[in-house]
Chains A and B, each alone.
Chain A
Amino acid sequence: MITKRIIPCLDVRDGRVVKGTNFLNLQDVSDPVKLAANYSAAGADELVFYDITASAEGRKLFTGILKKVAETVFIPLTVGGGINTVEDFDRVLKCGADKVSVNSGAIRRPELIREAAEVYGSQCVVLSVDVKRVGESFHVFSHGGRVDTGLEALSWICKGVELGAGEVVLNSIDTDGVKQGFDLEMLKAVNALVSVPVIASGGAGCIEDFVSLFQEIPELSAGLAASIFHFGQVQIPELKMRLRENGILVR
């Protein structure tokens, strides 16, 4: 049977992984290529790279890194950050990305999802959404979670899937960085709504948070996190062992 996926996320700026990394017994831990190889060896099921570089020069550096990762790591790679056109898809797919995640670019121009899905297939298009509670409802935020777009999140996600997104990464701004666990309420609402795989993001602080994620929402496909992996607070082999002990299928 299909297994639950554990996905480390690497934010890359000007060729380096940011958020600080503190892996034990590793040299130069902010080198994305080395970090990717380490995660792959530790049993990560996929990797997500966000290019948070602003300059064109930095973008070239990023595709160079992507190529190096794809030459050494043979697990699925998702790339996001600054994806606004089908040409942007082309640029990262040629460097070894398997899936491309869209966020602000799709909010500005939802047709981007359809255009990309028509050329590369739905399996290639990941809709990444930053969501925060506003009053009684969930709102989509842009600009790295700083600007309320006013879009109602559940209807935006439905629209994105209808347009052709083959997977949804739901990042809860409310739980992100708090390390008190994933946003189960929000995830349940989204998961009940769409039939494509949903990836939980934001809030994981310890192994138990992943256990309760998959116990509370057994249909959920994957859990994503960044700093707890980078800082070594959660080691992937141990995480997978504990999931297995709790009857959750992992590779």
Chain B
Amino acid sequence: MIAIIDYGVGNLFSLQSSLKLIEAEAVVTRDEKQIREADRIILPGVGAFGDAVKKLKDTGMFGLLREEADRGKPMLGICLGMQLLFDRSLEYGVHEGLGLIKGEVRPIAPVIPAGLDVPHMGWNSLRFPDKLPRSPIFKSLSEGDFVYFVHSYAGFDCEAACTATSDYGIPLTAAVQRENVYGTQFHPEKSGDTGLRILKEFASL
């Protein structure tokens, strides 16, 4: 059973539908018992970092997610959910994250070439770094496969955990992993067959 963490707004319908299609059992929940009993966790998210952290803390899930990650449970953060795994974010002030991935979340606007749109929105191709082994959730993917992104902030200073990048004038962090903790900046549930393959790999870790 996959626990999809419910902490407020966002389109969870597509994520649930895509898991149903790959026949992975999932439940949208904020219930401690259900989260502890699940064998995997997906942390979704759209919206603002600070607001999301506040909601996770208010519902008691902030500490719970850290504990479950430390116990070795496979966890996948998607989009803002990936950013929440980082040490901190500079989105509207400085906010502490879950600290499961070393690095910092910062706006992309100052570092990408002038003239490129913000948000980075649309289908971009994945590059897998040579020096790291291929992350298990990308086992069935090929270099250059396209996935769907929508974001204005990205993970930086996370080279040790960066398992995929996408070129937007500069290489942006597209995915991260540290042991059982995974994150994708893009939306696998909106990335067609490629995305479904990633979710399938995560569901069978």
Residues of A at under 8 Å CB distance from B? 1-5, 40, 45, 67, 70-72, 74-76, 93-98, 119-124, 166-167, 195-198, 219, 221-222, 251
Residues on B with C-beta less than 8 A from A76 are 148, 150, 187, 190
| Contact yes or no, B13 A70, CB < 8 A | yes
Q: A2, A76, A94, A167: which has the most chain B beta carbons within 10 Å?
A: A2
Instruction: Identify which of B17, B121, B167 contacts A71 (C-beta below 8 A).
Output: B17
Contacting pair B148 A70 (CB below 8 A):
no
12 new A-B contacts, CB < 8 A, other than A70-B13, A75-B191, A96-B14, are: A5-B122, A5-B123, A40-B192, A71-B20, A72-B21, A74-B17, A76-B190, A95-B13, A98-B150, A120-B9, A124-B46, A197-B117
Interface of A is mostly: loop
Name which residue of chain A comes closest to B20, CB basis: A71
Number of contacting residues on B, CB 8 A?
A: 39
A96 to B21: give the CA distance in the assembly, Å.
15
B102 contacts chain A at the CB level, 8 A cutoff: no
Asked if B124 contacts A2 (CB within 8 A), the reply is yes
On whether A75 and B46 interact (CB within 8 A), knowing A70-B17, A221-B122, the answer reads no
Q: In the complex, are the beta carbons of B120 and A94 less than 8 A apart?
A: no
B151 CB within 8 Å of chain A = yes
Closest chain A residue to B118, Cβ basis:
A195
CA distance A124 to B48 in the complex (A): 12
The residue that A121 contacts in the complex, of B48, B125, B192, with Cβ under 8 A, is B48
Cβ A74 vs Cβ B190 within 8 A = yes
Are B195 and A123 in contact, CB atoms less than 8 angstroms apart?
no
Contact: A123 with B13, CB < 8 Å?
no
A1 touches B117 (CB 8 A): no
Query: How many CB-defined contacts (below 8 Å) exist between A and B?
Result: 105
**Closest-CB distance, A148 to chain B (whole angstroms):** 30
A2 to B189, CA, bound (A): 18
Question: Given known contacts A1-B167, A121-B47, A219-B117, is B13 in contact with A94 (CB within 8 Å)?
Answer: yes
A-B contact pairs, 30 of them (CB 8 A): A1-B125, A2-B123, A3-B123, A3-B125, A4-B122, A40-B192, A45-B122, A45-B123, A70-B13, A71-B21, A72-B17, A75-B190, A75-B192, A76-B148, A76-B187, A93-B9, A94-B13, A96-B11, A96-B13, A98-B190, A121-B48, A123-B151, A195-B118, A197-B121, A197-B122, A219-B116, A221-B117, A221-B121, A251-B123, A251-B146
Whether B135 sits at the interface, judged by CB under 8 Å, is: no
B119 within 8 A of partner (CB): yes
With beta carbons under 8 angstroms apart, the residue of A71, A124, A195 that contacts B117 is A195
In the complex with contacts A2-B124, A75-B148, A96-B17, A166-B119 CB distance below 8 A:
yes
- Report the separation of the CA atoms of residues A95 and B17 in the bound assembly, to the nearest whole angstrom: 11
Q: By CB atoms of chain A within 10 A, which of B149, B187, B192 has the most?
A: B192
On chain A, the residues within 8 Å of B21 by CB distance are 71-72, 74
